[in-house]
Amino acid sequence: MRAKFVRESADVRRQALIDATAKCLAEKGVAATSVRAICAAAGVSSGLLTHYFEGVDALILATYRDVGQRVSQAMDAAIVAAGDDPQDRLRAFLQANFRAPVLDADLLATWIAFWSLIKSNADVAAAHAEIYAASRTQLEGLVAAAGPGFSPAQVRLKAIGLTALVDGLWLEYCLDPTSFSAAEAQQLVERAMGHALRDQ
């Protein structure tokens, strides 16, 4: 007796598989993210993965790009909501890391899985470089607007420092939320932003 199935459009199926992959990576880590686990989470048979993607590696890469895009969109939304003041916009970008949906242990778990693939998968490495470059370019634009008069070299270094602080706080909070609070992280970022805009 063969189970009935529902015919879905390609986009719906692809997205379902991507969502299932992110869920598996977050919940069980990269080791347990197998074709069967992904397809079970997506509610489809295992053969369908190969039908829509080259293989499990390609699906993971697509998931990386999808997750990266969702984070990027959350950042953009925060900037737009902040209004026109350049400092408010910079602040909104930085602080968005410490609110949903970015501040999420599952998102970190997914992200760590991607990092762990960079060494062994050139495509993932390329995607990572691309995503990070875009993020840093955006931050440099916000810093330059909020602190006019800085040279490009100064802007670049400030952006590097702010990115590192934000990423470090985000990483450590998600790994262990008991050691400090999101509010404390926001406070630290606010101070660092002040220093970055005040100093040379």
Buried b (16+ CB within 10 A) or exposed e, 84-111: eebeebbbbbbbbbbeeebbbeebbbbb
Residue 120 to residues 51, 60, 86, 117, 188, Cα–Cα distance (Å): 24, 13, 40, 5, 35
Q: How far is the CB of 137 from DNA (least distance, A)?
A: 34
| DSSP SS3 for 44 | coil
Q: Output 89 or 128, the one with its CB closest to its own copies.
A: 128
Residue 53 to residues 1, 13, 15, 155, 194, Cα–Cα distance (Å): 28, 11, 12, 41, 46
| 169 part of the interface to its own copies, by CB under 8 A | yes
Residue of 77, 80, 81, 175 that binds its own copies (CB under 8 A):
175
Residue 127 to residues 68, 163, 168, Cα–Cα distance (Å): 9, 18, 21
Q: Give the length of the chain.
A: 200
| 75 part of the interface to its own copies, by CB under 8 A | no
Binder of residue 76, out of DNA, its own copies, none (CB less than 5 to 8 A by kind): none
Q: Output 37 or 103, the one with its CB closest to DNA.
A: 37
| 138 part of the interface to its own copies, by CB under 8 A | no
Q: Output 82 or 174, the one with its CB closest to its own copies.
A: 174
Q: How far is the CB of 121 from DNA (least distance, A)?
A: 12
| Residues in 5-44 at the binding interface with its own copies, rule: CB under 8 A | 26-32
Residues in the site for its own copies, rule: CB under 8 A? Answer: 26-32, 109, 112-113, 115-120, 128-129, 132-133, 136, 156-157, 160-161, 163-169, 171-172, 175-176, 179-180, 184-185, 187-188, 191-192, 195, 199
